[in-house]
C-alpha cells in the first residue's frame, strides 16, 4: 500500500505519520517519484489500517492496488527506473533509459588469456559490460565450479582494461562482500532466485543487482524476490528473463518473451533478457536476442567464448567472436527502429 503525502506536509506531521504506521507493526519506506512524496506501507496485512490511513491529515491519497510487491510495482513508482552500473572512474552504463545495453562474455572465467581476449573482442563489437562467472552454480558437483576469487580479479581487470563494468554471479551470502569488491553488478542466478538470505545480503550492499528468473518461477515470485532486495534498502535491481523449464526438448529452456512486456507493465524496474540460457542453442541466440529487444527488453546478457567447442561450461550456447560481432551489427538497425540506441 502507498500513502501519497499532501504537498508541503510538515516534517513533524510526516514523523507523526511514520510513528503511527510503525506502531501498527508495519514498516515504512519513504520515497518520492513523479513530483510526489510518498510512503510505502510495508507488511503482511496493510489493509487493516487502510481506512484510518486514508483519513490521516497528512495523506493526500491512498493507493492500495492488490499487489504484494509494493516497492517493485509500477503502481507505486509510475515512471520507469533507470539503474546505473559503473561510474566513478569507469564508464557509467544506464539500464532502463534509451540505450539498449549488451552485456557479453564467457559463461565462466577460465583463464587470463580467455577473459582478456573476450573483453577485447566484445568491447570492439560494442558490448557495454563484460560478464563472466567466477563462482559457478553447476548441476553436477563434478563440473568446473569456477576460479573463485582469482576469477573475480581476472574478470574485473579484463573488463576495466577495456572500459567495461563487469557482472558476475554471487552464490552465497558469505561471499557477497568479496564479490561486491570486484563486481560492478551482482548477479543472482536462476537457482538462487528464492535464496532469501542471499537476496537480503545483496540488498544490504551498494552495488546494483541483476536478478535472474528462477527455472520454474512465476512473474509474481520474481517480483517478490526483487522486493526482498528493494526492502533491504537497495533500489537498484535489474530483472532478467532467462527462460523457464517447459516440455519443449529441443531447447534447454523456453525464453518467455511475454514475460518481458508483462514485467515492464507491472514493475518500474529495467528488464533484460538472456537468450543464451534461454535457448541453450547457439543458432537460436541471435533471433531470440532480436525478439527480446522487440518485446521491450532494455538489454541483453549473451555468452561469448573465444573457442566455444572447448569451453568449460555452456559452450553449445556460446557465440564466438565473429558470431557476436555479426549479431551486434544486426542489432544496430533494430535499435533505431525501436527508437533506442545501442
Ligand atoms: C549464467 O549466467 O552463467 C547462469 C548460470 O545463469 P542462470 O542462473 O540463468 O542459469
Ligand atoms: Mn552459463
Instruction: Tell me which residue has its CA closest to atom 5 in ligand 1.
Output: 189
Instruction: Tell me which residue has its CA closest to atom 1 in ligand 1.
Output: 107
DSSP 223-260: HHHHHHHHHTT---EEEEE--B--S--SSSSB--TTHH
Share of the chain above pLDDT 70, in %: 99
The per-residue pLDDT for 240 is 99
The per-residue pLDDT for 67 is 81
Cβ of residue 190 lying under 6 Å from some atom of ligand 1? yes
Contact 256, 244 (CB under 8 A): yes
List, for residues 74-123, the tens digit of each pLDDT value. Answer: 977 889 999 999 988 889 999 999 999 999 999 999 999 999 999 999 99
Find the helix or strand (DSSP H, E) in which 323 lies: helix 321-337
Contact 186, 176 (CB under 8 A): yes
β-partners of residue 169 are 187
How many CB atoms within 10 Å of residue 88? 6
Instruction: Tell me which residue has its CA closest to atom 3 in ligand 1.
Output: 107
Q: Which of 61-65, 101-105, 133-137 has the lowest mean pLDDT?
A: 61-65
Q: How close is the Cα of 9 to the center of ligand 1, in Å?
A: 46
Instruction: Tell me which residue has its CA closest to atom 8 in ligand 1.
Output: 189
Give residue for cell 565462466: 108
Banded pLDDT at 200 (limits 50, 70, 90): very high
Instruction: Tell me which residue has its CA closest to atom 9 in ligand 1.
Output: 190
The per-residue pLDDT for 66 is 65
Q: How close is the Cα of 190 to the center of ligand 1, in Å?
A: 6
Cβ of residue 170 lying under 6 Å from some atom of ligand 1? no
Report the nearest atom of ligand 1 relative to the CA of 274: 9
Residue 64 has pLDDT above 80, yes or no: no
Cβ of residue 212 lying under 6 Å from some atom of ligand 1? yes
β-partners of residue 61 are 4
Task: Report the alpha-carbon distance of residue 237 to residue 18 in Å, rounded.
Answer: 26
| Residue from 145, 151, 108 nearest 310 by CA | 108
Nearest ligand to the CA atom of 240: 1
Instruction: Tell me which residue has its CA closest to atom 6 in ligand 1.
Output: 189
Contact 202, 183 (CB under 8 A): no
Residue 43 φ/ψ, nearest 5 degrees: 165, 175
Contact 13, 58 (CB under 8 A): yes
Provide the CA 284 distance to its chain's centre, in angstroms: 22
Contact 207, 180 (CB under 8 A): yes
The per-residue pLDDT for 267 is 98
Q: How close is the Cα of 340 to the center of ligand 2, in Å?
A: 27
The per-residue pLDDT for 1 is 84
Q: How close is the Cα of 49 to the center of ligand 1, in Å?
A: 42
The b-or-e profile of 52-65 (16+ CB within 10 A means b, else e) is ebeebebbeebebe
List, for residues 20-55, the tens digit of each pLDDT value. Answer: 999 999 999 888 877 889 898 988 888 888 889 999
Mean pLDDT of the chain: 95
Amino acid at each position: 500500500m502507498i500513502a501519497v503525502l499532501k504537498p508541503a506536509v510538515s516534517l513533524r506531521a510526516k514523523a507523526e505519520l511514520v510513528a503511527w504506521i510503525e506502531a501498527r507493526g508495519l514498516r515504512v519506506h519513504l520515497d518520492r517519484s513523479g513530483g510526489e512524496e510518498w510512503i510505502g506501507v510495508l507488511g503482511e496485512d496493510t489493509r487493516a489500517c487502510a481506512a484510518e490511513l486514508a483519513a490521516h491529515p497528512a495523506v493526500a491519497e491512498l493507493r492500495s492496488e492488490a499487489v504484494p510487491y509494493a516497492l517493485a510495482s509500477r503502481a507505486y513508482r509510475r515512471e520507469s527506473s533507470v539503474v546505473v552500473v559503473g561510474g566513478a572512474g569507469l564508464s557509467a552504463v544506464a539500464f532502463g533509459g534509451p540505450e539498449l545495453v549488451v552485456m557479453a562474455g564467457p559463461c565462466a572465467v577460465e583463464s587470463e588469456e580467455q577473459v582478456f581476449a573476450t573483453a577485447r573482442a566484445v568491447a570492439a563489437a560494442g558490448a557495454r559490460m563484460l560478464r563472466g562467472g567466477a563462482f559457478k552454480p553447476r548441476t553436477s558437483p563434478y563440473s568446473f565450479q569456477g576460479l573463485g576469487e582469482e576469477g573475480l580479479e581476472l574478470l574485473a581487470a579484463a573488463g576495466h582494461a577495456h572500459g567495461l563494468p563487469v557482472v558476475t554471479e554471487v552464490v552465497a551470502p558469505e561471499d557477497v562482500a568479496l564479490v561486491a569488491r570486484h563486481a560492478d553488478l551482482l548477479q543472482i542466478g536462476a537457482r538462487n532466485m528464492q535464496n532469501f538470505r542471499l537476496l537480503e545480503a545483496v540488498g544490504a550492499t551498494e552495488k546494483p543487482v541483476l536478478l535472474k528468473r528462477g527455472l520454474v518461477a512465476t512473474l509474481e515470485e520474481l517480483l517478490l524476490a526483487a522486493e526482498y532486495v528493494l526492502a533491504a534498502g537497495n533500489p537498484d535491481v535489474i530483472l532478467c528473463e532467462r527462460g523457464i523449464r517447459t516440455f519443449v526438448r529441443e531447447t534447454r529452456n523456453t525464453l518467455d518473451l511475454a514475460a518481458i512486456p508483462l514485467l515492464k507493465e507491472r514493475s518500474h524496474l529495467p528488464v533484460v533478457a538472456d537468450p543464451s540460457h534461454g535457448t541453450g542453442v547457439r543458432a537460436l541466440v541471435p533471433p531470440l536476442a532480436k525478439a527480446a529487444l522487440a518485446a521491450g527488453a532494455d538489454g541483453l546478457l549473451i555468452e561469448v567464448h573465444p573457442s566455444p567447442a572447448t569451453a568449460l561450461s555452456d559452450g553449445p550456447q556460446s557465440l564466438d567472436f565473429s558470431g557476436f560481432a555479426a549479431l551486434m551489427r544486426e542489432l544496430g538497425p533494430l535499435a533505431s527502429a525501436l527508437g533506442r540506441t545501442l
